[in-house]
Amino acid sequence: MIFKTFIKRLFPRSFDNEIYNLRPKDLIIRKSSNHGGFKFGLSLLIIIFLFAIFGPIILDVSPYEQDLTKRLLPPVWKEGGSWEYIFGTDGNGRDYFARILYGTRISLTIGFGAACVGMIIGVSLGVCAGYFGGWVDQVVSYLLTCQLALPGLLLAMTIVFLIGPSITVVIFVIGATHWAFFLVVSRSATQKIKSLDYVTAASAIGASKFQIIIRDIIPNTFSQIIVIFTLEVGIAILNEASLSFLGVGIQPPTPSWGLLIAEGKEAIFFQPWLIILPGIALFTLVVSINMMGDGLRDITDPNSKVSEE
Amino acid sequence: MSDLLNIQNLEISFQSNNKNLKTVENFSIHLNEKESLGIVGESGSGKTLSMLALTRLLPKQASVSSGSIIFQNKNLNELDNKNFYKEISGKKISMIFQEPMTALNPVHTIGKQLLETYLYHNNVSVEKGIERALEILDAVKLPKYKQRMDQYPHQLSGGQRQRVMIALALINNPSLLIADEPTTALDVTVQKEIIQLISDLRETIGMALIFISHDLGVVSQISDNVVVMKNGEIVEKGKTLKVLEKPNHPYTQGLLDCLFKLEDEQKKNQIKDTPIIKVKEISKSYKLPAKIFKKPEIIYAVKKVTFDVKCGETIAIVGESGSGKSTVAKIINGLINKDDGEVEIKGQNIEDIEISDRAKIIQPVFQDPYSTLNPIHTIGYIVSRPLTINENKSESEVKEEVIKTLRLVGLSEDYYNRFPNQLSGGQRQRVAIARAIILKPQILICDEPTSALDVTIQSQILDLLNDLKTKLNITIILISHDISVVKYFSDRIIVMYNGEIIEMGNTNNVINVPKDKYTKRLMSSVFSLKKNDIKFT
């Protein structure tokens, strides 16, 4: 309710009674303010983003400062915890709350960055394969088979090992091994759209192939791609966690959630929060992204039946 | 004659967003045994929905909110679902649907599907079932019916599948058959055979028939009584001939006017003798995927087609689906490449014309109003796009031009910011026409421009095209399977069959004195309702 009134005040025109005369943007705003899942996911994601950006600036905490006399302190709700270290400390006596906070930045950067890289590779290959067909399609399909046959994590590990780990390398490596979904979905969507009359009409009015791809085909695959995108953001974040866990992702002492879990695994029986807390953070982020993605698909699809009142 | 079916005050409502939308109201019909009833109305008028309520096949959101259904002196509302499906549905009341391509289950043989229906309702041995299945397949005149039992649906043509559907519906000797637009998805020549078959079987089996259609012409042939529906209500009912002779409701009058108008003479363009399009021996073939040890098979979509189109003329290409008429149109438009032959437009070879120049000469209008507009873009963008691509004009000039063109096709400027999904089928088709004429082309290729529309909308769109034709002096190539539309609209007819032209000539000549065997069949398959037919009763 609060969200809706807020949005109504921001964009009064979107809530005119005459729905037929709404501009395209207004219709999307109106639809999004009625979609529960989208609102929940987006709000959660915005909160996480705000935490990641402003948290370290406002709260004066450092994820690197060690104090070996204060090793493995429990979080505040456990016996012996204190407000000084809300989430306790890790094995080196570093503030665990600060480490998770800084880890959010890493996870968000890698998740969205890698998904973008994967989307650019997958969608451009998929749309070309679907639109041009013939030998282009065969070459792309062959590439896809190769990609699917290679064990992704192993490949990523090898590449990171050879080039040397850094955030940029991890982003590109995860992106370069996660475009198969994008390709498959955009290729089949393109094949379907290519045969529709409006594409034929576009070529009849003299639009070039490039214009048709940009104006007619890609916007119409958007609602399917957005779902894959949010899925891949989640997968990339988890992938980074696995790489870091295995020691070829983010290098210590930089805090990443995967690394935190890796470091905490020795203490799993006695200090389980070292694993549970970054785990909860991972889960929340991935769920919020997926809910938002699902909502975005419903909203951007002009044929969807989201109520418009 | 005794009562068979009596529906009183049926009311169907849809549940959406806590609101009750009444879709069918006050629906009352009465049917004696062995009688036939036609239900006419455009899409969304509730004609199918009310029959689905009778067979309990309503979609989940819809429910019967009130009304009584009495069938063979039994109140169907008192029957529970289990007994209804066992005793009534499929046994006493059967239904055939519009789309034969999807109505049969593709993974089971024809025989298995027939047997399943028969054995579920009758406690007999499999041998008896097979016997009965063969008997009914023979009755629906399925060619080579003995071999069909082991065949799968994809091995049959559309018309044959519809025969199997009818066999499925009739295998239990129902007292009432409901046919929901059984011929709409079929070719014209097949249509007539199927309607003839249904009408023959009705007499031999002695069942009652409810025939749902949007086509008054077809209904007038097959039914004794007719019900006209509009917006979920019955606006007129009575003996078919009486209703046609003296319609009481303005809507029925409108429907009839739409039909009769096609008989009237229309404004003709000034035809000059200079040909604007010359098509010389064009061919187009497709290779089927090669099988091992076999030469790849080649299928000709178009085989050595030659004709001229004169400036200002309207020429119609008719033929059933798969005859290559759309392929010819696309080749002329330069949208697909031909294998052989030449297409000259205004003396220039089509391949030599720059794409932007071609766009200003020749434009297409397509059949399906739902896929002809990109759902992502606004109407304003869609109509302005030909201008922004091909001409250098300022934004305000373009907008002005777009609004002018929208007015020309009968849409106000309010539509500028709307999306295609907010428009009806007829409005979408108007937008498609606006997009085609904004560059002021000399040639318009209309590929079945009205066949996906309701009758009343159809005549509006035809009027619009007719109007534009004279106003802008456009040469039109019309592709259609609907002879009455062709007769109304065109100066000359080309008849195509299997990729070849088999007859060509003046519209009246071809329709009244067809020479070729196929053309004769095509022309005789039209159920057109003539003014004279009614006057004489």
Check CB contact under 8 Å for B390 and A206.
Answer: yes
In chain A, which among 175-194 make CB contacts under 8 A with chain B?
none
B421 touches chain A (CB under 8 A): yes
Minimal Cα–Cα distance from B480 to chain A, Å?
A: 17
In tens, the pLDDT along A87-111 reads 777 777 787 888 888 888 888 898 8
Q: Out of A196, A201, A220, whose CB is closest to B435?
A: A201
pLDDT over 60 (residue A210): yes
Q: Which residues of B341-358 are buried (b: 16+ CB within 10 A; e: fewer)?
A: bebbbbeeebeebeebeb
CA dihedral in degrees (B141, B146, B148, B150; nearest 10)?
A: 160
Helix segments in chain A, DSSP class H: 2-10, 24-32, 36-58, 96-132, 134-149, 152-163, 167-176, 180-194, 197-204, 209-211, 218-246, 257-264, 273-300
The rounded distance, in Å, linking the Cα atoms of B416 and B431 is: 10
How many Cα neighbours within 13 Å face the side chain of B132? 22
The rounded distance, in Å, linking the Cα atoms of B435 and B161 is: 39
Check CB contact under 8 Å for A201 and B376.
Answer: no
Check CB contact under 8 Å for B376 and A303.
Answer: no
Q: Out of A24, A204, A211, whose CB is closest to B333?
A: A204
Check CB contact under 8 Å for A22 and B417.
Answer: yes
Q: Counting one residue from A and one from B, how many pairs have CB atoms under 8 Å apart?
A: 81
How would residue A187 be classed by pLDDT, with cut points 50, 70 and 90? very high
How would residue A306 be classed by pLDDT, with cut points 50, 70 and 90? very low
The rounded distance, in Å, linking the Cα atoms of A166 and B38 is: 75
Check CB contact under 8 Å for A201 and B372.
Answer: yes
Strands B298-310 and B275-287: antiparallel
Measured between beta carbons, the chain A residues lying within 8 angstroms of B440 are none
CB B279 within 8 A of CB B306: yes
- Enumerate the β-bridge partners of residue B447: B479
A36 touches chain B (CB under 8 A): no
Check CB contact under 8 Å for B435 and A205.
Answer: yes
CB-based contacts of B468, cutoff 8 Å, min separation 6: B408, B409, B433, B437, B474
Length of chain A counted residue by residue: 309
pLDDT over 50 (residue A308): no
pLDDT over 50 (residue A228): yes
Backbone angles phi, psi at B455, to 5 degrees: -55, -45
Minimal Cα–Cα distance from A62 to chain B, Å?
A: 48
Q: Out of B358, B390, B419, whose CB is closest to A302?
A: B419
CB B275 within 8 A of CB B266: no
Chain A, nearest residue to B359 by Cα:
A205
In tens, the pLDDT along A97-148 reads 888 888 888 888 988 999 999 999 999 999 999 999 889 999 999 999 998 8
pLDDT in tens, chain B (537 residues): 678 888 888 888 877 656 677 788 888 888 888 888 999 887 778 888 888 888 888 887 788 888 888 888 888 888 888 888 888 888 888 888 887 778 888 888 888 888 888 888 888 888 888 888 998 888 888 888 888 888 888 888 888 888 888 888 888 888 899 988 888 777 777 888 888 888 888 888 888 999 988 878 788 888 888 999 888 888 888 888 888 888 888 888 888 877 766 666 665 666 777 788 888 888 888 877 666 777 777 888 888 888 888 888 889 998 887 788 888 888 888 888 888 888 888 888 888 888 888 888 889 998 888 888 888 888 888 999 888 888 888 888 888 889 988 988 888 888 888 888 778 888 888 999 999 988 888 889 998 888 777 777 888 888 888 888 888 888 899 998 878 788 888 888 899 888 888 888 888 888 888 888 888 888 877 665 555 554 433
Backbone angles phi, psi at A40, to 5 degrees: -65, -50
* Residue A307 pLDDT: 46
Chain B, nearest residue to A25 by Cα:
B417
At B511, list the tokens: 């329709």
At B509, list the tokens: 């000549």
B418 touches chain A (CB under 8 A): yes
Check CB contact under 8 Å for B385 and A196.
Answer: no
Check CB contact under 8 Å for B419 and A216.
Answer: no
Q: What is the 3-state secondary structure (H, E, C) of B372-388?
A: CCCCCCCHHHHHHHHHH
The rounded distance, in Å, linking the Cα atoms of A293 and A127 is: 21
CB B364 within 8 A of CB A204: yes
B223 touches chain A (CB under 8 A): no
How many Cα neighbours within 13 Å face the side chain of B325? 23
- What integer is the mean pLDDT of A247-274? 80
B384 touches chain A (CB under 8 A): no
Query: Sign of the C-alpha dihedral, residues B291, B297, B299, B305?
Result: positive
In the block, tokens 């159920």 appear at B527
CB-based contacts of A50, cutoff 8 Å, min separation 6: none
Q: Which amino acid is at A38?
A: F
Q: Out of A204, A216, A219, whose CB is closest to B363?
A: A204
Minimal Cα–Cα distance from A199 to chain B, Å?
A: 8
If one compares B451 and A306, the residue with the highest pLDDT of the two is B451
CB B76 within 8 A of CB B70: yes
* Residue A120 pLDDT: 94
Please state whether the predicted TM-score (pTM) of the whole model is above 0.90. no
In chain A, which among 195-254 make CB contacts under 8 A with chain B?
196-198, 200-208, 211, 215-216, 219-220, 222
Rounded to the nearest 5 degrees, what angle is found at the Cα of B285, between the Cα atoms of B279 and B291? 175
Q: Out of A27, A205, A302, whose CB is closest to B359?
A: A205
CB-based contacts of A283, cutoff 8 Å, min separation 6: none
Chain B, nearest residue to A216 by Cα:
B374
DSSP string, B453-505: S-HHHHHHHHHHHHHHHHHHT-EEEEEES-HHHHHHH-SEEEEEETTEEEEEE
User: In whole angstroms, how far apart are CA A48 and each of A111, A227, B69?
Assistant: 13, 20, 60
Mutation for A interface: B356, B383, B385, B443, most A CBs within 10 A: B385
In the block, tokens 């000399």 appear at B442
Measured between beta carbons, the chain A residues lying within 8 angstroms of B371 are 196-198
